[in-house]
Amino acid sequence: MERKHYLDNLRWVTVLLVLFYHVFYFYNNKGVFGGIGGFGEYPQYPQYQDIVMYILYPWFMPILFLLAGISSRYALEKQSAKEWFKARTRKLLVPGTIGLFVFHWMVGYFNTVVASRQGVFDGVPAIAKYFMMAFSGTGPLWFIQVLWLLSLVLLLVRALDRKDRFYHWCGKANYVVILLLGVLFWVGEQTLVKDPRPASLDGLLNLYKPCFYLFPYLLGYFVFAHDAVQEKLEKAWIPLMAGAVAAGTVLVVTTFGQDNTSPQYLGRPLNSLYGWLMCLAMIGWFKAKFNRTGAFAGYMTRSSYGIYIVHYLVIASLGYMMKMYTSLAPWMMYAILFVAVMLLSPALYEIIRRIPLIRWCVLGIKKKPAKA
């Protein structure tokens, strides 16, 4: 099968958008969990730059799961389920567990201090402090943890369709069916706990959203891995994008100021409509316009996963230090943090991938790639 560069390009561009999103997320004042907070209280201080969160959050993680489902289909056509799952475990589960204790405890330090402010570690034994930081350092690793779990679910689902009958049936989806699949997007959002109970796992379930992300992952595998479906999106990318922009504009205008990650917000039909249309439009747009590669695109295709894994340390550490210990103007903090995460994250990845054992623990890499 000829490599589909537009899928690679869409994946690494989305990863860069995640980095961009986290710059604004870290300083948001809309009540979104995590980050250090904004530069004033809403609505007295609107902080309109937070609009970035409203534009990106409804679709950029779902599309990564959708792309992962497509990639899983292609990979399982070339290797056995056992080989594939073994590779998934090394690449996803190892960094998502062992990596916490090797690298992400540093992220956990800033996460814990930001959440509880100074004094949170006073009187805590060193070993207990280390475990606190490690377990608090998950950050963006939730994505690979959930993806590993969904990979396991996929193997169970495939066992029910050994002859690929359901897969081939899904390849016949027309435009109406493709659009109506967005209902599953909305159904997935309804699995969130609307009123999470204190001291329960409700908050963790809402953070990880495994039942919601299962839908785009399986849709990627069964529906969007078909060339015919991708070609339909390519032909219709302009009206799909127009519809997405219209839905997104109404959504942002009518909801700005609300916590855009809350179950109530995500459960809105308009949020689901916008998110689904953007997923469809982005796939179609990239197939139509960006099915090519080059030196930079090739590097990002190979490295974006590792950049994603390590980037939040740059956000958490530098973002915290600037907010707490400088008097820089807000726009300067945004600018510095943006440049830093875009430059230092690849540099950090390049360092780690060259260190034996550490690269296995943090990145799930057995040996340094010949080119990266």
Q: The tokens of 176 are what?
A: 């109406």
Higher pLDDT among residues 241 and 366, named by residue: 241
Angstrom distance (rounded) from CA 70 to CA 64: 10
Mean pLDDT over 268-285 rounds to 98
The whole-number average pLDDT for the span 276-297 is 98
* pLDDT tier at 372, thresholds 50, 70, 90: very low
Q: What is the pLDDT of residues 87-109, one digit of tens each?
A: 999 999 999 999 999 999 999 99
Sign of CA dihedral 333, 353, 104, 62: positive
> Quick one: pLDDT at residue 287?
98
- Residue with the bigger pLDDT between 266 and 368: it is 266
pLDDT in tens, 215-227: 999 999 999 999 9
Whole-number percent of the chain with pLDDT over 90: 89
Q: How confident is the model at residue 120 (pLDDT cuts 50, 70, 90)?
A: low
Percent of residues, the chain, with pLDDT higher than 70: 97
CB 68 within 8 A of CB 219: no
- Asked whether the beta carbons of 30 and 257 are under 8 A apart, the reply is yes
pLDDT of 271 strictly over 80: yes
Q: CA–CA separation, 4 vs 8, rounded Å?
A: 7
What is the pLDDT, as a whole number, of residue 180?
Answer: 98
The upper half-sphere exposure of residue 289, i.e. CA atoms within 13 Å in the direction of its Cβ, equals: 10
Specify the pLDDT at position 343.
Answer: 98
**Whole-model pTM?**
0.96
User: To which residue do tokens 């919601």 refer?
Assistant: 212
* Peptide bond connecting 43 to the previous residue in cis, omega within 30 degrees of 0: yes
301 Cβ contact partners less than 8 Å away, ≥ 6 residues apart: 5, 8, 9, 11, 12, 293
Summarised one tens digit per residue, pLDDT across range 293-327 is 999 999 999 999 999 999 999 999 999 999 999 99
From 318, 370, 309, select the one nearest 345 (Cα to Cα).
Answer: 309
pLDDT exceeds cutoff 70 at 369: no
- pLDDT tens-place string over residues 49-75: 999 999 999 999 999 999 999 999 999
Calculate the average pLDDT of the chain: 95
Structure tokens at 41: 């209280």
C-alpha–C-alpha distance, residues 204 and 196, integer Å? 9
